[in-house]
Amino acid sequence: MPYPRMPDFKKLTEQIELYAQLKAEYGAAGISTILSQTEKELRSALSQIKSLPMDSPLAKAEPNDLLSIQKLRSSGPRRIWKSFNTKNYQEKLGGALLGRMAACTLGAPVEFWPIDKMKALNEIRGI
């Protein structure tokens, strides 16, 4: 499923804040009403987006809980190591966890995203 075009909300809200401050400095009336209405509309949009139904088969194909993930594993034999390189293992495990968080947990194509944007998406989803 293609992702929708994402408007630059951060830049837009920054401009709203700056223009509201500028207009307030020059004595414009009605700023608080406009900002209150804007906040209400943004909260409404957030609520609407949160309430959208998810694709159940897709959600089941990419679970987040351990038992569901384990159910998707192949039933073949597990390989148990007698010894392994701890440093190499830590690097691989760290990379795997980052990849899981960035791709599956966030559920978004995050290539080339700054870390702060990925963290913000993570916080929004409550993960």
User: Taking the domains of the chain in order of start, what are their residue ranges?
Assistant: 8-53, 87-127
Please list the rounded mean pLDDT of every run of 10 residues in the chain (127 residues). Answer: 84 93 93 97 96 87 85 82 83 79 66 76 68
Give residue for tokens 């998707």: 72
- Check: pTM over 0.85? Answer yes or no: no
Q: Give the contacts of 55 (CB within 8 A, at least 6 positions apart).
A: 1
pLDDT on residue 5: 87
Tokens read off for 116 = 């702060």
In angstroms, the CA 17 to CA 12 distance is 9
pLDDT on residue 127: 56
In angstroms, the CA 103 to CA 111 distance is 9
Q: Which of 69, 68, 13 is nearest to 43 (CA)?
A: 13
pLDDT on residue 122: 72
pLDDT on residue 19: 92
pLDDT on residue 86: 85
pLDDT on residue 108: 65
